[in-house]
Amino acid sequence: MKLLRLKTFMVVPLLILLMAPALAWADMDDHAHQGKHGHSAMVAPGQWEGSREGIAYSEFNHALTGVGVIIVGMIELGMAMGWRVWRWSQRLLPAALLGSGIFLLIWSDHEAWPIGSWTLAETLSGKDSEMLQHKIFGVLALGVGTVEWLRRVGKLEQWFWSSLLPGFALIGGGMLFLHMHGPHPAGHQIQMHHYVMGTLALAGGMAWFGGEWLNRSTRGLSQDPPSKSVLKIIWAVLVIIIGVQLLFYSES
């Protein structure tokens, strides 16, 4: 039974990692070939935000980021549950964060530097707050991913460093309540997506820190209180739910 649980724990995120990009690209192609009736609202000529291509591009980006978030959540769940996993699998969490950070910094926005017509200064100027926030998310993911990698090779062992990942969830969750897209036919739907993800991220981060508070307040006892493990499991499950929501994120 333990071996089956171990295999399931490892295989599920890997299957998602392999399948999600293909599914997202298929959805992208479907959007690109829709006729004029595929949209319920009109967008201005030449406008990227809300166009068929823009929607497909955004949905693909969210889906791919969701894969990384699911991997992070699965690894955190395994640790919270005390499952024994292969040593190399511990590298999946920082790898997912680093990959998501690089992806956001380069491909998060069609018009932004370095793939779009905007310069680096224009991208970071705040003229487009959505664009700037995507880059901030990318920098945070890279930073936390680097710290998590160093933690797993035994370089950073202090409690502070372990708190950066749930701290990232709190910061990112708060930012999502301010994360506005430009003119978009599905603007209200997108905003609701962000509010739900932000709420889940804030709840997850607080659950992690709640578990740590219990750990400190009960230090010296013969065994950890069950509520500590429950809070850490809640944290991991909420991260997975955020990843699933990103995976099936829709702007149409």
**Per-residue pLDDT, 31:** 41
**pLDDT band for position 106 (50/70/90)?**
very high
- Measured from the Cβ of residue 95, the count of other Cβ atoms closer than 10 Å reads 16
Torsion angle, CA of 180/148/246/14, rounded to 10 degrees? 160
In angstroms, the CA 72 to CA 82 distance is 16
Task: Please choose, from the candidates 182, 194, 189, 197, the residue with its C-alpha nearest in 3D space to the C-alpha of residue 251.
Answer: 189
Alpha-carbon span 49 to 59, nearest angstrom: 12
Tokens of 152: 């797993």
Query: For the packed helices 52-81 and 226-247, what is the interaxial angle rounded to 10 degrees?
Result: 160
Q: How many angstroms separate the CA atoms of 217 and 211, rounded?
A: 10
Confidence of residue 206 (pLDDT cuts 50, 70, 90): very high
Residues 6+ positions from 46 with CB-CB distance below 8 Å:
none
More confident residue, 15 or 107: 107
d(CA 179, CA 155): 35
H helices of 33-51, in order, are none
The mean pLDDT of the chain is 80
Residue 12 has pLDDT above 50, yes or no: no
Selection from 200, 190, 6 nearest residue 84 by Cα:
6
Q: Which amino acid is at 113?
A: W
Instruction: Look up tokens 């998501």; give the residue.
Output: 100
CA distance 171 to 168: 5
Query: What is the arithmetic mean of pLDDT over 171-189?
Result: 77
Q: Is the pLDDT of residue 102 over 90?
A: yes
Give the confidence band of 193 by pLDDT, cuts at 50, 70, 90: confident
Q: What share of the chain in percent tops pLDDT 90?
A: 48
Question: What is the reported pTM?
Answer: 0.77
The answer to whether residues 241 and 200 touch, using CB atoms and an 8 Å cutoff, is yes
Q: What percent of the chain clears pLDDT 70, i.e. is strictly above it?
A: 72
- Of 35 and 41, the structure prediction assigns the larger pLDDT to 41
